[in-house]
């Protein structure tokens, strides 16, 4: 949809508001686009303004309110202008992207409950990073509009990495807030298998944790175990919302992670669900394969009880052969989630000898308490996957005389997680790499006596990217053993379904990867039975997807809307948010291994509450919003917060554009000799303005390092200005004056404090400015000419300034202060030039928007019909910005009068 | 009767500006039971949009008919909260602003208990006044779509063009014979080195192209009558046969510029041959033909003394803003003429702000030497017995060394002073500041507006500015004119004085008390009485107390309201 305005004003700082208001008064229709959540720009954040010492809030707020209430102004906050293009007729077409606020701007009452409930704190840009704000926030108390925004910069890498779709960042931030039960509920929102995943998951989240590039990843998986155990200990209710029964029935075949998760999700949506399980116990691989030292049976049972608690019926010892029969029994849909229960044969002669077992079969027997004869025997496990590691370690625990893993490639190529292989080795498992079985040798009784193997050499990489093993001729040898466990792969058991649904060559079911629907519409398939052997998280994710799709299919909606993740955030940008990070040592590993273990007790210790709290505290809140949903839960207006909202784009056509994108402040850490970002008591002028403002964060002037009220305060003028070493030869114009203003405010607030200003020239050029400077001197501020060379920090946080005292003979002096304020200047905001496509908005040599005819036509830019207002064209204080914005408005109005036939003057 | 009123009262914390010293909650409690008060609340920022919305909701929900906000000065937020009242359906003039910040919390930072007590009194008094308010309607006047520009320097010329370009008719009045003011006399000017005469010529050309601009040279504003939106200006054109014409205009832009500071004889050697002011030097440089000469002699050395006539305690205390940049620019011009000229700059602070810094840097690269002199020991200029011109100074940049600089020329870097124009000032009634320049309403947010509605100030008459800045302020004045005139109508406050014709005995005392010539004598029913033009009256109230018959009352501040406000304040016992 295209909407027409006379003028587009980009930016709503004091310059943008002035231009827009005056153009509106003249009768033009104006669209104001502001990228922040409130209009007002920087002025509203200041304490007072020079030289009148008016309260900045008090004189900004009427302008801000006027801007959004003006009948001729339309204001879009939290929005960005992209790609302004001028057409042949000289009119402009612009895309406006309204960034998702995730809060309904109309419905929001500004009550701030979301802000209170939010579990994420990030540096508050509206307080110059002196304090934190929440991810759900209202920009500042006087924000216009006073509506909340949820800062979702993207999916956090941990959350994005989770195949199960668990809000990893969300539960970590809830644990950090001490909300263990809420954290547990957040995981339950994805899957009932909280305890299981807390132990047996391979935690792809941890591999992607941004903290991993600092001191080490957060123990995200163990945090999940912590909340699960905690929940079990307290015996709390699940606290999960379940819809009213909807009258529909779904049969789930198989009770592994995919089936259990699907059943759980369907039950929550009001379906009557029955799980049909072939084995005597439910849980699939969780219950019947993963060894108890990794995943105790009672934990799996606890998780399965979650599913039962929602009314899901689990029937064991019930293999399903006929899926159509289920339909006939009255199920509206059937989900096949039978996994990969069969071992792949070794495919070598002698495989039928006594003492040769499949890996899953071996593990299942052990889990069911059935006898396996490995005690005192030599065991060879063939394969390099996780099942092989499990089998080897279980064999050790059953008292095998020795356990050797034979794998045809090298250690690096093993599909098992490296930690599993390492742990197996630490427990005494031996490895024999680059060997492939050739034949099972046996004695006369038919029992195994050894495994004849061939040595392999690794050739070129194959399709999997791993180097292909090739036999070395004549390298045969025998591994003597009595037991051989074949763990080279697993396959589904789907022969019975072949007549009803499509089955692939390797036995997997054919299903649409997005909808998980098979060739038969009411039959869905999920998990390893579709994909072949993967892992628990993937199965859980598929189970969730299947439940979602079955529901969509049955409720006649389109089969979409499952994966609503935002794109993952860029880790480099996350790390760049702060100049430095305090060292937060990683949580020590909790696994204790002993050589030759003989019991099945858990090898990994739980996290204590303190450890969990500290571990969660290391989270860097990469995506900012953690997805903990606390805001959604507390918001008193139903449907007001929607975390699945998305940016909206619209097109506008306008007759003129006013660019009032303002300036950037110099990044003070670019002057390392002043120690900003390193010395906590070195702050910027903007930070001091925040310390002095009526909405000040600490209600007094204090130094950030230790909260001490400073007695000796130094100003370092021209930080980043008039300085070729940072490529800025320009003067920033307003730093002298804001510093003088702050000097007076400090002397008013702290009558005993000494204020010293180290300056080059005091540039009090403007109406009543020099008088203001003289007043400051007479109040007792001390002005010393000479640039500060270096600042060093003492142990007590005090700062030593080394400078030349020019007026007292030019000697080098060192002086100690409690607090140092760097009077940072301006930098061009190059976003202005990026607004345009098709032609260039010319910049001056210092990257400010150029005014080619500044002498006679201030505000005119290189593009006809585009005008610049305020500091976007160079450093300006408020007065100069107001005048310049007024000039830009006159220019824009003249342009509109020239180009638009009819003047749009309201009656 | 008073019990029938339904008043909402809001006490503002102003962040901590008020609540750090005034116990706001106590104030709310103390006024809750006042007659007519239906709602009383505190608010962190009354002016915040969300607070305004809350008030509007309260007004609608509780059917309020009066509003009191106790916050800051009425200068800041009267219009804000009148807007709240209007949007919610209350007559805006049934709103009262009580000032508990400038007049209370900021004044009594040492006595929170007293400040709280005072706030209670002030708020009660505001409530008392509000109980007696009556709905008033603003005066709506049609505005004339024409503007008058006084002064045809660079700001005035550019303003005239700007006004014409937004569709307004313009009368441009210049006292001199030529258009162009100061800039029209200059050669190359900073920051872009363009020729001042050329700039003016191009503007004059643009003016001539626009039929909607009528130019009067040799002309002066003689009188101004009428009121906002419809002023009548009497312009005298001083030709051989002086002519007085009257034009109707909606707004007036005053762009009368500045005078250059003229040093006293002897001030920094002024009067000695070879000691010149900045404009004199500029003319010298502009007129240089190949090389710089003074009285026929080549100039080999120049000493500039900055801040002459500016930043002088007890005299012109202000900084003239433009002179540092103008001088560095002139020094660059000299260097371009002859790179061998020695140039010494004796300064206090070099104020080449913003991008002008580049000129300062460049001038140093081209050999200019800068020396900082102590504020209490300015340089001295003399001609010695041998007739050599010498400047002696102390240079703080070289350990305070005493230096004697023999020089060919001493340039006194003279600043700007307000243009002497007593008649114009008195007829415009625009106030001037302590520096003598015209005063704006608010130096930050309303720099071109004056307390006289529709009379705007642009360029250096408001304060020192360079030419580009003057042009910007001229255009800002265009914008302000267009913003008030293009609607075609303007609303004026109805808070004006009215005469009870029955009580008036026409003693004419009120006429003498009115600074705005708003009162006239008329005949009503055969009797001579006073009448007050509501469009001209500014509501100052000066006529009210002088009337011996109590026949005059001020709307919005009636005697009854003021009495009630005072009585209410006195009811509160002093703690």
The tokens for A387 are: 């099942």
Give residue A36's pLDDT. Answer: 96
Q: Which residue of A has its CA nearest to B189?
A: A855
Q: Is the dihedral of CA B156, B159, B165, B170 positive or negative?
A: negative
Q: Do A891 and B484 touch (CB under 8 A)?
A: no
Residues B409, B318 share a domain: yes
Question: How far is CA A817 from each of CA A128, A190, A677, A786, B565, rounded to the nearest angstrom?
Answer: 22, 55, 17, 17, 52
Which positions in chain B touch A770 (Cβ < 8 Å)?
Answer: 310-311, 317-319
Rounded Cα distance between A755 and B509, Å, is 56
Which residues, 6+ apart, have CB-to-CB distance to B426 below 8 Å?
A: none
Using the 8-state DSSP alphabet, how is residue A376 labeled? T
Which positions in chain B touch A785 (Cβ < 8 Å)?
Answer: 372, 396
A732: distance to nearest CA of chain B, Å? 5
Rounded Cα distance between A697 and A695, Å, is 6
ipTM of the complex: 0.90
- How many interface pairs between A and B have CB atoms less than 8 angstroms apart? 251
Rounded Cα distance between B35 and B130, Å, is 11
Average of per-residue pLDDT across B197-205: 98
Residues B193, B98 share a domain: no
- Dihedral angle, C-alpha A353, A359, A360, A365, nearest 10 °: 60
Rounded Cα distance between B150 and B166, Å, is 18
Confidence of residue B573 (pLDDT cuts 50, 70, 90): low
Nearest Cα residue to A453 out of A497, A416, A412, A404 = A404
Q: Is residue B94 included in any domain, yes or no?
A: yes
Does position B64 have pLDDT exceeding 60, yes or no? yes
CA A762 to chain centre: 46
Q: Is residue B141 included in any domain, yes or no?
A: no
Q: Is residue B16 included in any domain, yes or no?
A: yes
Which residues, 6+ apart, have CB-to-CB distance to A145 below 8 Å?
A: A38, A68, A77, A105, B49
Question: Could you tell me if A260 and A164 are in contact, meaning their C-beta atoms sit under 8 angstroms apart?
Answer: no
Transcribe A422-463 into DSSP letters. Answer: HHHHHTT-EEEESEEEEEEEE-TTSBEEEEEEEEEEEEEE-T
Q: Do B48 and A142 touch (CB under 8 A)?
A: yes
Radius of gyration of chain A (CA): 35
Q: Which of A51, A57, A733 sits opposite B354 (nearest CB)?
A: A733
Q: Is residue B318 included in any domain, yes or no?
A: yes
- Long-range contacts of A75-78, Cβ-Cβ distance < 8 Å, separation of 24 or more: A75/A12, A75/A31, A75/A32, A75/A34, A75/A39, A76/A31, A76/A32, A76/A33, A76/A34, A77/A12, A77/A34, A77/A36, A77/A37, A77/A38, A77/A39, A77/A145, A78/A34, A78/A35, A78/A36, A78/A37, A78/A149
Q: Is residue B569 included in any domain, yes or no?
A: no
Peptide bond into A892 cis (omega under 30): no
Average of per-residue pLDDT across B286-308: 95
Residues B398, B364 share a domain: yes
Which CATH number covers residue B106? 3.40.50
Which residues, 6+ apart, have CB-to-CB distance to A440 below 8 Å?
A: A346, A348, A349, A350, A351, A353, A356, A448, A450, A451, A452, A484
Rounded Cα distance between A897 and A163, Å, is 59
Q: Do B166 and A887 touch (CB under 8 A)?
A: no
Q: Is residue B326 included in any domain, yes or no?
A: yes
Q: Which residue of B has its CA nearest to A845?
A: B355
Residues B58, B18 share a domain: yes
Nearest Cα residue to B444 out of A829, A17, A715, A68 = A17
- The last residue of a domain, from among B414, B435, B470: B414
Residue A893 has phi, psi (to 5 degrees) of -65, -45
Residues B50, B15 share a domain: yes
Which CATH number covers residue B524? 3.30.70.20
A822: distance to nearest CA of chain B, Å? 18
Nearest Cα residue to A625 out of A231, A106, A148, A147 = A148
Q: Which of B350, B433, B442 sits opposite A761 (nearest CB)?
A: B350
Peptide bond into A392 cis (omega under 30): no
Which positions in chain A touch B194 (Cβ < 8 Å)?
Answer: 855
Q: B391-409 burial by CB neighbour count: b if 16+ within 10 A, else e?
A: bebbbbbeebeeeebebbb
Average of per-residue pLDDT across B541-562: 94
- The last residue of a domain, from among B463, B490, B517: B490
Rounded Cα distance between A640 and B220, Å, is 64
Which positions in chain B touch A846 (Cβ < 8 Å)?
Answer: 355
Using the 8-state DSSP alphabet, how is residue A317 labeled? S
Residues B459, B369 share a domain: no
Angle between helices A220-234 and A609-617 (to 10 degrees): 140
What number of H helices and E strands is found in chain A? 26, 39
Per-residue pLDDT of A73-90, as tens digits, reads 999 999 999 999 999 999
Residues B428, B404 share a domain: no
Peptide bond into A145 cis (omega under 30): yes
Residues B520, B437 share a domain: no
Residues B382, B460 share a domain: no
Which positions in chain B touch A899 (Cβ < 8 Å)?
Answer: none
Stretches where chain A sits below pLDDT 50 are 1-2, 902-907
Give residue A903's pLDDT. Answer: 41
Question: How far is CA A312 from each of CA A259, A261, A483, A516, rounded to the nearest angstrom?
Answer: 11, 11, 41, 21
Angle between helices B278-287 and B323-337 (to 10 degrees): 30
Which positions in chain B touch A747 (Cβ < 8 Å)?
Answer: none
How many independent structural domains does chain B possess?
Answer: 4
Radius of gyration of chain B (CA): 30
Residues B247, B315 share a domain: no
Rounded Cα distance between B483 and B469, Å, is 21
Does position B419 have pLDDT exceeding 70, yes or no? yes
- Which domain range does residue B508 map to? 497-555
Mutant choice from B482, B488, B490 vs A, greatest count of A C-beta within 10 A: B482
Does position B1 have pLDDT exceeding 70, yes or no? no
Question: How far is CA B542 from each of CA B510, B538, B546, rounded to the nearest angstrom?
Answer: 8, 10, 7
Question: Could you tell me if B281 and B306 are in contact, meaning their C-beta atoms sit under 8 angstroms apart?
Answer: no
CA A683 to chain centre: 29
Mutant choice from A44, A855, A859, A892 vs B, greatest count of B C-beta within 10 A: A855
Does position B574 have pLDDT exceeding 60, yes or no? no
CA angle A821, A822, A826 (to 5 degrees): 140
- The last residue of a domain, from among B351, B379, B414: B414
Does position B399 have pLDDT exceeding 90, yes or no? no
Per-residue pLDDT of A193-220, as tens digits, reads 999 999 999 999 999 999 999 999 999 9
Question: Exposed (0-12), middle (13-18) or buried (19+): which is B383, by Cβ within 10 Å?
Answer: middle
Q: Which of A68, A699, A762 sits opposite B349 (nearest CB)?
A: A762
- The count of C-alpha atoms lying within 13 angstroms of the C-alpha of B349, restricted to the half-sphere facing its C-beta, is 23
Per-residue pLDDT of A810-829, as tens digits, reads 889 999 999 999 999 999 99
CA angle A292, A293, A294 (to 5 degrees): 85
Residues B514, B373 share a domain: no
The pTM of the full predicted model, rounded to 2 decimals, is 0.89
Q: Is residue B179 included in any domain, yes or no?
A: yes
* Distance between first and last Cα of chain A: 28
Strand partners, A220: none
Mean per-residue pLDDT over chain B, rounded = 94
Which CATH number covers residue B286? 3.50.50.60
Rounded Cα distance between B157 and B161, Å, is 6
Which residues, 6+ apart, have CB-to-CB distance to B233 below 8 Å?
A: B148, B171, B221, B223, B224, B246, B247, B248, B249, B252
The tokens for B12 are: 């503002």
The tokens for B359 are: 């000129």
Which positions in chain B touch A890 (Cβ < 8 Å)?
Answer: 162, 165-166, 475-476, 478-479, 482
What string of H, E and C letters represents the secondary structure of A778-806? HHCCEEEECCEEEEEECCCCCEEEEEEEH
Q: Is residue B560 included in any domain, yes or no?
A: no
Give residue A901's pLDDT. Answer: 54
H-run or E-run covering A390: helix A386-397
Q: Which of B353, B447, B477 sits opposite A763 (nearest CB)?
A: B353
The tokens for A892 are: 């824009």
What string of H, E and C letters represents the secondary structure of A178-238? CCHHHHHHHHHCCCCCHHHHHHHCCCHHHHCCHHHHCCCCCCHHHHHHHHHHHHHHHCCCC
CA A869 to chain centre: 36
Mutant choice from A697, A763, A892, A898 vs B, greatest count of B C-beta within 10 A: A763
Residues B169, B244 share a domain: yes
Rounded Cα distance between A641 and A598, Å, is 54
Q: Which of A694, A844, A883 sits opposite B476 (nearest CB)?
A: A883
Rounded Cα distance between B542 and B520, Å, is 15
């Amino acid at each position: 949809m295209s909407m027409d305005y006379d003028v587009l004003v980009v930016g709503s700082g004091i310059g943008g508001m002035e231009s827009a208001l005056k153009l509106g008064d003249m009768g033009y229709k104006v669209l104001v686009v502001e990228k922040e959540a409130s209009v007002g720009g920087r002025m509203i954040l200041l304490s007072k303004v020079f030289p009148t010492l008016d309260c900045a809030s008090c004189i900004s707020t009427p302008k801000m309110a006027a801007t959004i209430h003006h009948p001729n102004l339309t204001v879009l906050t939290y929005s960005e202008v992209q790609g302004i293009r001028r057409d042949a007729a000289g009119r402009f077409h612009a895309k406006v992207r309204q960034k998702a606020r995730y809060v309904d701007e109309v419905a929001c009452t500004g009550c701030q409950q979301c802000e209170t409930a939010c579990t994420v704190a990030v540096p508050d840009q509206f307080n110059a990073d002196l304090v934190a704000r929440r991810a759900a926030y209202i920009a500042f108390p006087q924000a216009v509009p006073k509506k909340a925004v949820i800062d979702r910069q993207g999916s956090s890498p941990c959350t994005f990495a989770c195949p199960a779709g668990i809000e990893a960042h969300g539960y970590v931030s809830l644990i950090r807030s001490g909300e263990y039960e809420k954290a547990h509920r957040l995981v339950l929102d994805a899957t009932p298998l909280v305890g299981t995943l807390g132990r047996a998951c391979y935690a792809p989240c941890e591999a992607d944790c941004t903290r991993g590039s600092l001191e080490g990843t957060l123990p995200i998986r163990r945090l999940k175990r912590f909340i699960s155990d905690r929940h079990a200990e307290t015996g709390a209710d699940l606290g999960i919302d379940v819809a009213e029964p909807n009258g529909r029935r779904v049969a789930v075949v198989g009770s592994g992670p995919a089936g259990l998760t699907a059943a759980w999700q369907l039950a929550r949506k009001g379906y009557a669900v029955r799980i049909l399980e072939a084995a005597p116990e439910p849980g699939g691989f969780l219950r019947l394969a993963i060894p108890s030292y990794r995943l105790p049976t009672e934990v799996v049972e606890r998780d399965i009880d979650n599913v039962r608690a929602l009314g899901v019926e689990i029937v064991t010892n019930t293999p399903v052969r006929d899926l159509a029969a289920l339909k006939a029994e009255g199920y509206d849909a059937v989900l096949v989630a039978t996994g990969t229960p069969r071992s792949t044969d070794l495919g070598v002669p002698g495989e039928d000898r006594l003492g040769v077992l499949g890996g899953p079969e071996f593990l299942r027997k052990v889990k069911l308490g059935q006898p396996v004869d490995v005690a005192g025997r030599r065991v060879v496990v063939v394969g390099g996957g996780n099942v092989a590691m499990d089998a080897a370690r279980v064999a050790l625990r059953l008292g095998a005389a020795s356990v050797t893993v034979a794998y045809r490639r090298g250690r690096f190529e093993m599909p098992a997680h490296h930690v599993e292989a390492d742990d197996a080795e630490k427990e005494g498992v031996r490895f024999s790499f680059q060997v492939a079985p050739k034949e099972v040798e046996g004695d006369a009784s038919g029992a195994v006596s050894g495994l004849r193997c061939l040595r392999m050499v690794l050739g070129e990489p194959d399709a999997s990217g791993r180097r292909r093993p090739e036999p070395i001729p004549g390298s045969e040898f025998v591994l003597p053993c009595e037991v051989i466990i074949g763990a080279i792969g697993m396959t589904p058991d789907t022969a019975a379904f072949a007549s009803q649904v499509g089955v692939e060559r390797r036995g997997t079911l054919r299903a649409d990867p997005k909808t998980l629907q098979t060739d038969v519409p009411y039959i869905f398939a999920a998990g390893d039975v579709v994909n072949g052997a993967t892992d628990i998280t993937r199965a859980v994710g598929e189970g969730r997807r299947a439940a979602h799709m079955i529901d969509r299919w049955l409720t006649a909606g389109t089969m979409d809307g499952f994966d609503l993740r935002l794109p993952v955030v860029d880790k480099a940008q996350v790390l760049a948010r702060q100049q430095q990070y305090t060292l937060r040592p990683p949580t020590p590993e909790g696994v204790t291994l002993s050589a030759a273990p003989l019991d099945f007790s858990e090898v990994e210790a739980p996290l204590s509450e303190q450890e969990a709290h500290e571990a969660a505290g290391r989270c860097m809140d990469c995506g900012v919003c953690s997805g903990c949903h606390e805001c959604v839960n507390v918001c008193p207006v139903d449907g007001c917060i929607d975390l699945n909202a998305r940016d909206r784009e619209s097109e506008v056509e306008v007759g003129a554009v006013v660019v009032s994108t303002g300036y950037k402040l110099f990044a003070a850490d670019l002057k390392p000799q002043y120690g900003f970002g390193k010395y906590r008591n070195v702050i910027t002028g903007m930070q001091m303005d925040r310390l002095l403002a009526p909405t000040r964060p600490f209600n007094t002037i204090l130094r950030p390092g230790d909260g001490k009220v400073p007695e000796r305060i130094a100003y370092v003028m021209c930080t980043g200005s008039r300085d070729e070493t940072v490529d800025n030869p320009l003067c920033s114009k307003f730093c002298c004056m804001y510093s003088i203003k702050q000097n007076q405010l400090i002397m008013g607030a702290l009558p005993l404090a000494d204020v010293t200003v180290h300056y080059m020239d005091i540039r009090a050029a403007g109406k009543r400015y020099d008088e203001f400077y003289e007043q400051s001197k007479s109040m007792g501020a001390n002005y010393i000419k000479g640039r500060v060379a270096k600042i060093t920090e003492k142990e007590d946080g005090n700062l030593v300034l080394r400078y030349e005292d020019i007026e007292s003979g030019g000697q080098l002096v060192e002086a100690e202060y409690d607090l140092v304020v760097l009077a940072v200047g301006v930098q061009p905001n190059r976003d202005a030039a990026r607004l345009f496509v098709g032609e260039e908005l010319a910049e001056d040599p210092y990257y400010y928007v150029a005014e080619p005819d500044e002498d006679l036509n201030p505000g005119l830019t290189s593009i006809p019909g585009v005008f610049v207002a305020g500091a976007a064209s160079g450093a300006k204080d408020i007065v100069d910005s107001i005048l310049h914005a007024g000039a830009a408005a006159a220019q824009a109005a003249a342009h509109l009068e020239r180009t638009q036939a009819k003047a749009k003057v309201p009656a | 009767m008073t019990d029938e009123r339904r008043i909402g009262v809001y006490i503002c914390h102003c962040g901590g500006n008020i609540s750090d010293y005034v116990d706001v909650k106590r104030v709310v409690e103390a006024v809750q039971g006042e007659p007519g008060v239906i709602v009383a609340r505190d608010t962190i920022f009354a002016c915040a949009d969300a607070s305004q919305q809350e008030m509007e909701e309260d007004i609608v929900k509780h059917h309020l008919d009066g509003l009191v906000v106790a916050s800051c000065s009425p200068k800041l937020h009267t219009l804000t909260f009148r807007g709240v009242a209007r949007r919610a359906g209350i007559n805006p003039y049934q709103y009262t602003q009580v000032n508990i910040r400038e007049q209370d919390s900021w004044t009594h930072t040492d006595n929170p208990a007293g400040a709280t007590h005072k706030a209670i009194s002030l708020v009660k008094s505001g409530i008392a006044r509000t109980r007696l308010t009556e709905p008033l309607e603003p005066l709506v006047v049609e505005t004339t779509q024409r503007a008058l520009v006084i002064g045809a320097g660079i700001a005035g010329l550019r303003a005239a063009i700007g006004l014409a370009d937004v569709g307004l008719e313009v009368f441009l009045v210049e006292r001199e014979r030529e258009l162009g003011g100061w800039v029209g006399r200059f050669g190359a000017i900073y920051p872009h080195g363009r020729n001042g005469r050329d700039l003016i010529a191009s503007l004059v050309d643009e003016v001539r192209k626009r039929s909607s601009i009528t130019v009067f040279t040799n002309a002066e504003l003689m009188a101004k009558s009428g009121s906002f939106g419809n002023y009548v200006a009497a312009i005298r054109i001083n030709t051989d046969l002086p002519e007085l014409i009257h034009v109707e205009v909606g707004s007036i832009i005053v762009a009368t510029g500045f005078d250059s500071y003229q040093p006293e004889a002897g001030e920094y050697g002024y009067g000695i041959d070879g000691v010149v002011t900045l404009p004199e030097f500029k003319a010298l440089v502009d007129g240089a033909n190949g090389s710089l000469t003074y009285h026929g002699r080549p100039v080999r050395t120049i000493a500039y003394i900055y801040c002459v006539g500016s930043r002088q305690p007890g005299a012109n205390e202000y900084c003239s803003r433009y002179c540092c940049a103008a001088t560095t620019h002139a020094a660059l011009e000299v260097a371009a003429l002859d790179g061998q000229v020695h140039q010494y700059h004796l300064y206090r602070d070099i104020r080449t702000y913003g991008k002008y810094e580049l000129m300062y840097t460049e001038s140093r690269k081209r050999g200019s030497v800068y020396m900082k002199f102590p504020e209490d020991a300015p340089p001295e200029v003399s001609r010695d017995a041998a007739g050599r011109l010498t400047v002696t100074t102390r240079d703080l940049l070289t350990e305070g060394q005493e230096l004697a600089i023999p020089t060919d020329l001493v340039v006194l870097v003279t600043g700007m002073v307000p243009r002497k124009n007593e008649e114009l000032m008195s007829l415009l009634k625009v106030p001037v500041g302590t520096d003598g320049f015209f005063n704006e309403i608010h130096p930050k947010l309303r720099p071109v507006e004056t307390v006289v509605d529709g009379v705007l100030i642009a360029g250096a008459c408001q304060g020192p500015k360079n030419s580009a800045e003057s042009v910007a302020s001229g255009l800002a004045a265009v914008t302000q004119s267009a913003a008030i005139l293009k609607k075609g109508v303007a609303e004026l406050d109805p808070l004006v004085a009215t005469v009870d014709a029955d009580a008036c005995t026409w003693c004419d005392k009120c006429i003498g008390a009115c600074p705005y010539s708003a009162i006239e004598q008329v005949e009503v029913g055969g009797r001579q009485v006073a009448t007050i033009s509501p469009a001209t009256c500014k509501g100052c109230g000066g006529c009210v107390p002088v009337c011996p018959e109590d026949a005059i009352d001020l709307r919005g501040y009636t005697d009854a309201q003021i009495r009630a406000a005072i009585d209410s304040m006195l009811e509160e016992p002093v703690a």
